[in-house]
Structure 1
Amino acid sequence: MFFIDNLHFDQNGLIPAIAQDWVDGAVLMMAWMNKESITKTLESGEVHYWSRSRKELWHKGKTSGHFQKLKGIRTDCDSDTILLSIEQIGSIACHTGKRSCFFKDLETNKDVLHPPSNACSELFNVIESRKSNPEEGSYTNTLLKEGDNKILKKIGEETAEFIMACKDKNPISVANEAADLLFHMQVSLAHQNVSWEEVLKVLVKRRGAPRRNQ
């Protein structure tokens, strides 16, 4: 753990630590760590922070059950901030009961349901929202209402268009058709009650997996 000595702590021996969901990249919370909490985190595999108010080690989730399992740890270019890649147990990082502490939109002064993450996850959140709260004139709701026959037909059509775009070697068309195909696949997932997170978890499990013989 020699790298700890290379970190730049503040005058109080603390360093800011940002917790990020290891699957979809959502920013969940920010807290403080010191050498002791970093060491304890690395030894236990569960994140420990330093509580500035209580001036003691803080095992995240010990009281709430919302533990954070460490999946990776990085530092920024100046070595004065830590980025924790974590698996959030219970999908709640904030003491308010929300998934992320970053839920207040400054422009609207309203709470947002989902924290910023990758574009695909945000798209699926919109689709799920349409499913729960249908909107008149929504193409997504039209697909969901007509069900598998309509959705699967569209997936077939979009797959064919994606293939043709690839055959034509047109990068812009390939990107557009890939986006259309992905959207309709996500609508199908929502219709089948399969979350996008489950798909991402499958991909995560395949990271570094042994290569398959063709």
Structure 2
Amino acid sequence: MNIDFNKSQDGLVPAIIQDAITSKVLMLGYMNNEAYTKTVEIGKVTFFSRTKNRLWTKGEESGNFLNVISIKNDCDQDSLLIKVNPVGPTCHKGTDTCWEETNEQSFGFLSELENVIKSRRENADSKSSYVASLFEKGINKIAQKVGEEAVEIVIEAKDNNDELFLNEGADLLFHYLILLQAKGYALNDVVKVLEGRHS
């Protein structure tokens, strides 16, 4: 890998550390050529500490190592993206990230939708909220709705109306997220099962 350590006067390049599974940015550090070489050799992220003025392997005192999964150089060859498998919290303050974020997997809009469903279940009046009314009717009604939506998507899959097919898919997914919460689970629990099958 051709890394341009000479672009800065101190010979350091920024290294963005990202969780390989959750894609959360965990921290930012700096590497010189020696730190990069050691990182590759031992498979654990090693920085050049500007305060200690020496190489510093993250976790050398705490045991919270950052095990390297991959390293990429940017288009200007002067910054690195390092995907890792973190052992324990990353920040020296004990938080998952240096921005005090929880290092949990997010599924973008689907995670937002899960939060909306949870909020409606906990806070909304069943007379004004479709989601709340389903939870009030119980698990049998929710499971029935999932079954109905599953049948409808099968029917639409046999036709040629893409819009109806996609809408039925959205309905099925929406009601499945409701069913997951009714059973005490979340989308992440299903993903873990799929990941287990994949490995």
TM-score, normalised to structure 1's length? 0.68
Matched-pair contact (CA < 8 Å) for 2:105–2:188: no
Matched-pair contact (CA < 8 Å) for 2:22–2:105: no
Q: Using the alignment, how far apart are the partners of 2:171 and 2:142 within structure 1? A: 12
Q: Using the alignment, how far apart are the partners of 2:117 and 2:96 within structure 1? A: 16
Deviation at 1:142, TM superposition (A): 5.0
Matched-pair contact (CA < 8 Å) for 2:134–2:141: yes
Counterpart of 1:163 (choices 131, 154, 162) is: 154
Instruction: Report the CA distance shift for 1:77/1:129 in structure 2 as closer, same or farther (over 3 A).
Output: farther
Pair 1:122-2:106 in alignment = no
Deviation at 1:32, TM superposition (A): 1.7
Per the alignment, residue 32 of structure 2 pairs with 34
Name the count of aligned residue pairs: 194
Deviation at 1:46, TM superposition (A): 2.4
Q: Using the alignment, how far apart are the partners of 1:204 and 1:39 within structure 2? A: 32
Query: What does the per-residue CA deviation read over 1:132-168, in whole Å, with 9 as the maximum and x for residues that have no partner?
Result: x922246555555655323322322332333334333
Counterpart of 1:81 (choices 75, 79, 82) is: 79
Q: Relative to structure 2, which stretch is displaced further, 121-130 or 68-77?
A: 121-130
Deviation at 1:99, TM superposition (A): 2.9
Q: Using the alignment, how far apart are the partners of 2:117 and 2:21 within structure 1? A: 18
Instruction: Report the CA distance shift for 1:125/1:83 in structure 2 as closer, same or farther (over 3 A).
Output: farther
Q: Using the alignment, how far apart are the partners of 1:120 and 1:114 within structure 2? A: 17
Instruction: Report the CA distance shift for 1:62/1:23 in structure 2 as closer, same or farther (over 3 A).
Output: same
Deviation at 1:130, TM superposition (A): 3.7
- Taking the TM superposition and a 5 Å limit, the aligned residue runs for 1:35-74 are 35-74=33-72
Instruction: Report the CA distance shift for 1:36/1:119 in structure 2 as closer, same or farther (over 3 A).
Output: same
Pair 1:151-2:151 in alignment = no
Q: Using the alignment, how far apart are the partners of 2:149 and 2:54 within structure 1? A: 56
Counterpart of 1:135 (choices 107, 123, 127) is: 123
SS in 2 for 1:41: helix
Q: What one-letter code is carried by the residue in structure 1 that aligns with 2:115? A: V
Instruction: Report the CA distance shift for 1:176/1:32 in structure 2 as closer, same or farther (over 3 A).
Output: farther
Q: Using the alignment, how far apart are the partners of 1:28 and 1:185 within structure 2? A: 32
Instruction: Report the CA distance shift for 1:149/1:87 in structure 2 as closer, same or farther (over 3 A).
Output: farther
Q: Using the alignment, how far apart are the partners of 1:16 and 1:191 within structure 2? A: 45
Query: 5+ unaligned residues in a row in structure 1: which ranges?
Result: 104-111, 210-214
Query: What does the per-residue CA deviation read over 1:18-50, in whole Å, with 9 as the maximum and x for residues that have no partner?
Result: 222222322222222222222222222222222
Instruction: Report the CA distance shift for 1:202/1:23 in structure 2 as closer, same or farther (over 3 A).
Output: farther
Q: Using the alignment, how far apart are the partners of 1:125 and 1:102 within structure 2? A: 24
| RMSD (CA atoms) | 3.5
Q: Using the alignment, how far apart are the partners of 2:12 and 2:138 within structure 1? A: 54
Query: What does the per-residue CA deviation read over 1:104-153, in whole Å, with 9 as the maximum and x for residues that have no partner?
Result: xxxxxxxx76789441663376269649x922246555555655323322
Query: 5+ unaligned residues in a row in structure 2: which ranges?
Result: none
Per the alignment, residue 22 of structure 1 pairs with 20
Decide which structure has the larger Cα Rg and report it. 2
Q: Relative to structure 2, which stretch is displaced further, 189-198 or 45-54?
A: 189-198
Between the two proteins, what is the percent identity of the paired residues?
37
Q: Using the alignment, how far apart are the partners of 1:129 and 1:114 within structure 2? A: 20
